[in-house]
Amino acid sequence: MEILFLQRPDVLPGQVELVTRRIAELEGARLHCASSPEEARQYAGAEILLCPTLPWLPEVIEGLPRLRWIHFLSAGVDRIWEMPFDKTRYLMSKSVGVHAHTISEFVIGAILYALKGFGTYQRQQQRREWRRFRLDECAGKTLGIVGLGTIGARLAELAAGLGFRVVGTVNTPREIPHVDVVYDASGLDDVLAQSDFVVLLVPLTPATRGLIGARELGLMKPTAWLINVARGEVVDEKALVEALRGGGIAGAVLDVFEEEPLPAESPLWELENVLITPHVAGTTQHYMPRALEIFAENYRHFLATGELVTPVSVALGY
């Protein structure tokens, strides 16, 4: 099987050795690497693409007449739907689960940031100010997870260990370990109303774009925090700023935004009850090894059955 690994030219040199070593372990696999459509044209026999959601991906696809399968190194594939290539022509898979440990740990850190007053203490330190106040704890609080996928399941496990009651939504309700109440998508209002922390983990689709607006924020407790590690477009940022300024919610930890990088003129920068991180919740040194293992699992299953373990659903849009 001819596999073509695509990556940005500034990133490819640092990943070639790892990718080459991992692909060499797969039966019948032959690897090629390219960092531009021009380089990719040398490998017209490629049957599999292994790649991020690069903007020049359609140009590469156009030059691969034998292409059968595209595997994305990301878990989210929302960028591909606006790309001009036939999504029904190829098998497609994604790296579901690559973020489970990393993002769930990030969220726990965000929760502790809020409960333990770390932001306030950092500002006091800068002012050389010694002022004590009562801290809070996790036990007895409710964590609402909007999107109980792989990350959400891992987060629920960690949160339950800290004493949280966990509730959340998933498209197909089922029993999920460490989750006390599982709702379908229509139960969002109930999750928002009872949660002390609301974590957004849904993929970006037409159904989730603008999912959290002024009405939804109004359902949250004034003491609650919103944590967004999904996509910026899931939240109406203007409504969020108003809720944060007006005391509608206590605060927010935001790793994703409607426009990235977040513009310097965004009012979010000025709010002391907001922690801004630059879309890094899923980034650690373990990302690529995990993504490649997910690809390898799909590859082995593909050779054995012709099917994929973590497919992209064209019908669902993720």
Choice among 129, 137, 259, 260 that is catalytic = 260
231 is catalytic: yes
Choice among 279, 293, 297, 301 that is catalytic = 279
Choice among 71, 99, 165, 231 that is catalytic = 231
260 is catalytic: yes
233 is catalytic: no
Residues in contact with 285: Cβ distance below 8 Å, sequence separation at least 6, in sequence order: none
Q: Distance between CA atoms of 231 and 242, rounded to whole angstroms?
A: 19
Residues recognised as catalytic? 231, 260, 279
